[in-house]
Chains A and B, each alone.
Chain A
Amino acid sequence: MKGKGSLFCKGLILTVGLIFCMTTAASAADTIRIGVAGPFTGDAAAYGDNIKAGVSLKLKEINGAGGINGKKVEIVWGDDLCQPKEGGTVASKFANDKKMVAVIGHVCSSATLAGMPIYVRAKMPVISATSTNETIGHVGKGWFFRNCYTDDFQGEYLASHVVKELLGLKRVGIFYENNDYAIGLKDSFVKGAQDSGLQVTGTEAYMKGATDFTPQLTKLLRDDPETLFLCGYHLEGALIAGQARKLGFEGPLFGGDGIDNADYIEIGGEAADNTYMTVPFLAQAAGPEGQKFAEDYKEENGRDVDWMSANAYDCMGILAYVIEKVGADREKIREGLAAINSPEKGYEGVTGLTYFNEVGDCFKPAFVKKVEGGKFVPAE
């Protein structure tokens, strides 16, 4: 009995002691600390990697130029595995860090939704580069901003502009991933398709992590669509493209910003050709600043820039711009972000002119690009 008790005691003391150790975070005195939350391990780690690349590039530029108002910027990376539970823990860690003035993240909407109540309570402004779920704005109560399309806009744009005008096609098969991003995008596309008089020949779904899509594709292709909507992310998109070509589908493919990634071409190979996608950033259409960003990015990371990285780069840029104006303080940063509410006051980043509405959703231009000969080129 005694042995048991003392071991229990030791175990608990050890645990509690370790937790107490966690408060230490010694760092240079005069820095501006910003948290970046995303999946850096686990099965969504590739997305976190994109965010990390984008933020790091901007960070290097800012600190290379002497920081913001003379203060260097310091980043704390918080790994949330794209899981809501971990998202909440990271959020509470960030919220508790008195020196932290803003958060970039999270990547997955579910993690953002779990963290938002904690951020609101701690009055921490959050800006996400990728969380598209429409409900976050309401949970965020003014503390949440996002630098990415909402699903509504993109889906309708794809239907009316890309399919109807650019491709001039009518019969569409939809293949969507069963997650919040793709469901939102699919629903708004279907709505847009009805308005534009397109015909949806079939709708199939897949789960994240699947590699074999041939059964669903066989079913979709039986109805003979002219084009396929890859409604999801780039890895699955590339696999679907390859398998669709193997099954003899030769028409064009299209998708939202989710499939914009150099890996899409890398993995899809020849099958990726003739794919159209909407993107917030297009090097060829961008100004000299954007061109330089695309080049720097390639030099730094050895791959073409993707939408997540571009959005993350601009998130960091927007924060730096606001902090420079109002100073490093959570509430002031929130006010500063909320003040970017019209095109005139917008932030001109590489992803175009960005400004927020009252729930933190942003408006920004969309470009269309396509894959041709293993390269991204402008479609128009």
Chain B
Amino acid sequence: MFTQQLVNGLTIGGIYALIAVGYTMVYGVIQLINFAHGEVYMLGAFFAATFIMVMGMPFYMAFILAMACGAICGMLLDVIAYRPLRRSPRLACLITAIGMSIFLQNLAMLIWGSRPKPFPSQSLPEWFNTTWVFSHFRLTGFHLFVFGVTIIMMVGLNLLIKKTRFGKAMRAVAQNKTMAALAGINVNKVITLTFAVAGSMGAAAGLLVGAYYNSLYPTMGYVAGVKAFAAAVLGGIGSVPGAMLGGIVLGVAEAMGAGYLSSLYRDGISYGVMILVIVFIPAGFFGVVIKETKKSI
């Protein structure tokens, strides 16, 4: 059972990690807990399903297009909702994020209806259903696909942040916006692009979840968003490798907790772990201890 629970935990953890990265990147550049991120994740899943069902696209193409749509959603979110508030109190941004989250959720409900929809599973490639039965656990092609996508995206994202000009600009903006602007960086553009990257990762995660569990519904963003948020905190909010590790640790901890302790307190385990980590290592696994002189408002 242990190995099987580990596989379960790693699968869901990888997906948490993909969403958590979105929270953490946005937090890194503008210190905003982007509560609408869970809705981008939900929209990603719905876009992919629509592409496949209505336009008859093959799965991989829908995957890439859904990520592009996620990126556009992220950018629109920033340009329409957050950019006008750059110089406002931070809580105004937070309330805007909540407002956008409610708005997008209900918009999706109007467009696609409130009933859960199945993911068009016939479009999934054949090898997803291949099952390998080992002595203690079972593994499907889909598990491997989720692992693969998570790993590729994480490596790609790290390269993007470490090796490219955009990544450098993003790190500069995260550290000090005024100085970044003085160095000739277009701060607004960098922030919008950060939202785009975060959105595309979120959309990819939404699609994976939708296809893996074969169901999509407009409120799916909430629970996943909250969990991923916990994962981001666990890893040290603002730190990208931290979010990845946080997601995976959280996924495994939940699976083990539900498997060996009480399934009723499964969600409690995430929050409990989160609180303990914050109280004892406030910076999370990877974050840098923040010395603030100003408070959060």
On A, residues with C-beta under 8 Å from B are: 40-43, 45-46, 48-49, 178, 204-207, 209-212, 214-216, 218-219, 222, 235, 238-239, 242-243, 246-248, 263, 266-269
Contacts and interface: CB of A to CB of B under 8 A. Distances in A.
Nearest to B110: A41
14 contacts: A42-B219, A49-B113, A206-B263, A211-B213, A215-B266, A216-B263, A218-B259, A219-B1, A219-B259, A235-B215, A247-B4, A247-B138, A263-B115, A267-B214
Interface in B227-270: 254-259, 263-264, 266-267
A39 B218 CA distance: 14
A307 to B, nearest CB: 15
B192 interface: no
B265 to A, nearest CB: 10
Contacts of A212: 8, 12, 213
A248 B7 CA distance: 15
Contacts of B138: 246-248
Contact of B264 (A45, A178, A215): A178
B222 interface: yes
B267 A207 contact: yes
Contact of A205 (B217, B223, B264): B264
B215 A239 contact: yes
Contacts of B224: 211
B222 to A, nearest CB: 7
B114 A46 contact: yes
A49 B114 contact: yes
Nearest to B262: A205
B50 interface: no
Counting chain B residues whose Cβ lies within 8 A of the other chain, the interface size class is 35 or more
B88 to A, nearest CB: 19
Most chain A CB inside 10 Å of its own CB: which residue of B114, B209, B219, B222? B114
Q: Is chain A's binding surface mostly helix, strand, loop or mixed?
A: helix
Nearest to A218: B4
Most chain A CB inside 10 Å of its own CB: which residue of B106, B219, B256? B219
B186 interface: no
Nearest to B258: A215
Contact of B258 (A43, A216, A267): A216
A267 B1 contact: no
A211 B12 CA distance: 10
B116 interface: yes
Contacts of A216: 258-259, 263, 266
A248 B137 CA distance: 10
B182 interface: no
Contacts of B218: 45
A26 B62 CA distance: 49
Contacts of B24: none
B263 A215 contact: yes
Contacts of B223: 209-211
A48 to B, nearest CB: 7
Contacts of A207: 264, 266-267
B85 interface: no
Interface string B1-30: 100110011001000000000000000000
A185 B256 CA distance: 28
Contact of A218 (B1, B106, B133): B1
B118 interface: yes
Contacts of A178: 264
Contacts of A42: 219
A45 B1 CA distance: 37
Contacts of A222: 1
A267 B212 CA distance: 12
A215 B5 contact: yes
Given A215-B258, A218-B4, 7 more contacts: A210-B223, A215-B256, A242-B213, A247-B138, A248-B138, A267-B116, A269-B214
Nearest to B260: A219
B1 A266 contact: no
B253 to A, nearest CB: 11
B64 interface: no
Given A46-B217, A218-B4, A246 B140 contact: yes
B8 A215 contact: yes
B115 A214 contact: no
A48 B115 CA distance: 10
Most chain B CB inside 10 Å of its own CB: which residue of A178, A209, A211, A266? A211
A268 B109 CA distance: 21
B8 A218 contact: yes
A49 B263 CA distance: 30
B56 to A, nearest CB: 19
